[in-house]
Chain A
């Protein structure tokens, strides 16, 4: 009688890895990545729209002028010239920050991980908007927090619910939110709620983590002031060039007060010493020409706007009664809520069989709620494919309704 050891380290792994397991949804995504499937699942920026010449130019300049530096280690805080450029990029959104108060990270994703690392002890309470960016949940999740989930509506996080929790005596370590065209909700935190959120958190002594990857991808309406702008002392601000330039360069940043920055830098050095000098210098060069990056960004934003219009039009045409969805004024995502009995996780197999994919809603909640919801991304497929994918999904939803009624005669 031999007990077989599939993984001889199984008793040695840290408790925090217990949630890291194979999943049916991952298995289905392996099929959904195939070209015949219209994937409305992935939030990939359409980098194909960037002019190759612009990229060649910046790479050439880096190699010619900073060749050795680009191949060398750099400081843990990230290249100063890049921080200055990114401070300028933030200023374009009204966020004023000193390059000294910034740390460059491997995408904003690493900033989320580092924030978890320096703030969360196992069992600590953190507040997250619900639904929240799945990557934030997995980054924080590795530090084993408990979650206070604050639902969103069309005006973003329902701050009243956070207030009620504070009144009950709950004191999370921080509040995480993505206030502009959030992932996955697609909604924007209203001005009134921004004011309410910053004053509530300041009074309670609870810092806010403001994640802003999509703020510059606005299709309509006026930009609202960042939470960081409303309360620079109590907001950790996260930015990234992933959506306004390229996710491949892996450049993001955190802007925070010095004491936090110091810890973030130390945590980052412990994790990977420093970011990629090459892509940092490349990114610095790219943003050195304002006409260039603004021009490309305008092209991209226009493209995303027409894709959003295509998606909303198709949803309107093909989705059955009882479905509700958000109307994002920017960003990448539409968030769909179906009648309560829908199980979008189980339905994904049937969707992939019909050559369309989405992300089931449960991924965006720490406790598995959201079973009747789904995220649809309009950023990557061309308009025709979006219409085709939404039509396939609409047919499936109709068929599911017929099936549901037949099971509940």
Chain B
């Protein structure tokens, strides 16, 4: 089968995406596919895809254009099958402001949050509502760009006086910001693959520096991981249920990673979902698969088969 692995792009996660893409490319070759890697920042994507006419695009683009529905819509137009969630649902899942709303409506537990949008600040005097955000969310809070990944632009705010600076920093990455209640507990990631979704064991994340920031994610050895997570059976079950509830609520497909925190009482709080989870050597999804004896090749194979099980959504 002819597979185009899409990786790279123009976002700050470009390097991470290329690392993911190269690993998937190797896996594709090992599976015997005629695979090539296409970096949309290096090659005109639509033109190249029309020339090469692959049977399937394996998406390992991260961030804007790659996870927000943009590339998915283009592939729909070109009538090329691709791995992962549909364009519309990507748009919801990628934007934390929309995704948290959708999760909340579906009864999935997600930390209290307040939205802050660039346009509301500039044009609607939204700055006057900043104290309401603090009231709603409490302290400490975590300030995140609504449409970005890899913890870029994320900061923890303990004092209200620091909130404005954190909001400005996050707005550098995205037009919207989520101010979210900081939940103390164990950080875990739950992968789901295939159709219908198979839940993989939770991976526990223990950053040595205390915060799972960009450096902790991409410096080998900066974070300890446990797979499966060191959770009691009922808690692990609750995590799997929460992940599946998020998967269903957001209409996710083929492959996803749900990030959550398990609080002191053993309740999981869903923070976000990733429609194109990292596949690098320090990434969580391959670890989760490894915990059930599934190598990267088998993981990618499951994703491909799931995607090929349907026609491209025209």
Contact = CB atoms under 8 A, between A and B. Distances in A.
Given A4-B290, A347-B172, A408-B127, A28 B12 contact: yes
Nearest to B287: A4
Contact of A21 (B12, B172, B219): B219
A67 to B, nearest CB: 39
Contact of B169 (A26, A27, A343, A409): A343
Given A403-B168, A406-B127, A31 B225 contact: no
Interface residues of B, number: 49
Contacts of B170: 346
B89 to A, nearest CB: 25
A344 to B, nearest CB: 10
A45 B44 CA distance: 31
Nearest to A346: B169
B222 A407 contact: no
Contacts of B226: 1-4
Contacts of B127: 406-409
A6 B172 contact: no
17 contacts: A2-B226, A7-B220, A9-B221, A10-B220, A10-B221, A22-B215, A22-B217, A23-B214, A27-B14, A30-B15, A31-B14, A346-B168, A349-B12, A350-B171, A403-B168, A406-B127, A409-B128
Q: Top 6 A-B pairs ranked by shortest CB distance? A: A10-B221, A346-B169, A22-B218, A7-B220, A7-B221, A21-B219
Interface string A164-195: 00000000000000000000000000000000
Interface in B221-241: 221-228, 230
B221 A349 contact: no
Contacts of B15: 26-27, 30
A404 B168 CA distance: 7
A10 B223 CA distance: 10
A13 B118 contact: no
Nearest to A342: B168
B287 A30 contact: no
A27 B17 CA distance: 11
Nearest to B120: A406
B125 to A, nearest CB: 7
B31 to A, nearest CB: 24
Interface string B161-176: 0001101111111000
B164 A407 contact: yes
Contact of A407 (B11, B130, B224): B130
Given A343-B165, A346-B153, A402-B122, 11 more contacts: A1-B228, A1-B230, A6-B223, A13-B221, A21-B215, A23-B214, A30-B15, A349-B152, A349-B153, A350-B172, A408-B127
B215 A352 contact: no
Contact of B165 (A21, A22, A28, A341): A341
B199 interface: no
Nearest to B231: A1
Contacts of A27: 12-16, 150, 152, 214
B168 A24 contact: no
Interface string B37-58: 0000100000000000000000
A51 B46 CA distance: 40
Contacts of B287: 4
B214 A22 contact: yes
Interface in A15-35: 20-24, 26-28, 30-31, 34
A208 B16 CA distance: 42
A376 B159 CA distance: 33
A352 B11 CA distance: 9
Contacts of B122: 402-403, 406
Nearest to B169: A346
A122 B192 CA distance: 48
B170 to A, nearest CB: 8
Contacts of B14: 27, 30-31
Contacts of A400: 168
B10 interface: yes
A96 B168 CA distance: 52
Contacts of B41: 34
Contacts of A7: 220-221
Contacts of A341: 165
Interface in A340-373: 341, 343, 346-350, 352
Contacts of B152: 24, 27, 349
Interface in B200-254: 203, 214-215, 217-228, 230
Nearest to A4: B225
B282 interface: yes
A304 to B, nearest CB: 30
Contacts of B167: 407
A21 B11 contact: no
Interface in B83-127: 118, 121-122, 125-127
Nearest to A11: B221
Given A343-B169, A349-B152, A349-B173, A406 B121 contact: yes
Contacts of A3: 224-226
Nearest to B130: A407
Interface string A387-409: 00000000000001011101111
Interface in A244-295: none
A406 B170 CA distance: 15
B291 interface: yes
B171 A403 contact: yes
B277 to A, nearest CB: 16
Contacts of B172: 346-350
Nearest to A2: B227
Contacts of A403: 118, 121-122, 168, 171
Contacts of A10: 220-221
A39 B174 CA distance: 21
Contacts of A24: 12, 152-153, 214
A30 B170 CA distance: 19
Nearest to A355: B10
Nearest to A371: B165
B281 interface: yes
A143 to B, nearest CB: 21
Contacts of B13: 27
